[in-house]
Chains A and B, each alone.
Chain A
Amino acid sequence: MQIRLYFTAAMKWFMLSVILLAVGCYERPSAERLEYDSDAVQALRQEIKSVDWDE
Chain B
Amino acid sequence: MIGPRIAKGCFNIAYLRSLPCFGNRLSCLPAENSSTKHTPNHPAKRTLKHAIAKLVFALTALMTLGCGETLPPAYKLNSVEFLRQEKLFLGSGEHFDDAYKQEIGSILTALFGTPNEPLVPALLGEDDPVLEVMRPENINMAAGPVSLDYHGKGGGLYRQHCSHCHGITGDGNGPTAAALNPYPRDFRLAKFKYKSTPLRSVPRDHDLTKVLVNGVPGTSMPSFGTLPDGEIAALVDYVKFLTIRGQYERYLMAELSNLDDGEPLIDLKLAQKYHQLAAIEQPTEQQEEELEEVEEQHLDSMWGVVGERLMEDAIERWVDADDNETEIPEAPDAFDSGHDGHRDFVATGRELFYTRGNCAQCHGDTGVGNGQIESFDDWANDWIKTPGVNPFNPKTYKTFTEAGALPPRPIKPRNLTEGRYRGGGQPEEIFLRITNGIEGTPMPATPALTSDEVWALVAYVKFLPYGDVNELPDRQINEKAIAR
Contacts and interface: CB of A to CB of B under 8 A. Distances in A.
Interface string B224-255: 00000000000000000000000000000000
Contacts of B45: 2, 6
B108 A30 contact: no
B302 A34 contact: no
Nearest to A29: B402
B8 interface: no
Nearest to A37: B106
B397 to A, nearest CB: 12
B27 interface: yes
B71 interface: yes
B contact face: mostly helix, strand, loop, or mixed = helix
A47 B28 CA distance: 73
B107 A31 contact: no
Nearest to B103: A40
Best-surrounded residue of B49, B56, B75, B111 (most CB of chain A within 10 A)? B56
Contacts of B299: 51
B88 interface: no
A6 B49 CA distance: 7
Given A17-B59, A36-B102, A41 B110 contact: yes
Given A30-B173, A47-B266, A6 B52 contact: yes
B214 interface: no
Contacts of A9: 28
Contact of A32 (B63, B64, B71, B79): B79
Contact of B59 (A14, A25, A43, A48): A14
Contacts of A1: 37
Interface string A17-33: 11001001100111111
Contacts of B303: 51
A25 B69 CA distance: 10
B5 interface: no
A21 B67 CA distance: 9
Contacts of A33: 71, 74-77
Interface in B116-166: 123-124
Contacts of A6: 28, 45, 48-49, 52
B307 interface: yes
Best-surrounded residue of B27, B77, B110 (most CB of chain A within 10 A)? B110
Nearest to A5: B28
Nearest to A25: B67
24 contacts: A5-B28, A6-B48, A10-B53, A10-B56, A14-B56, A17-B63, A18-B63, A24-B67, A29-B401, A31-B169, A31-B173, A31-B404, A32-B101, A35-B101, A37-B106, A40-B102, A40-B103, A43-B271, A44-B110, A44-B111, A44-B266, A47-B271, A48-B306, A53-B123
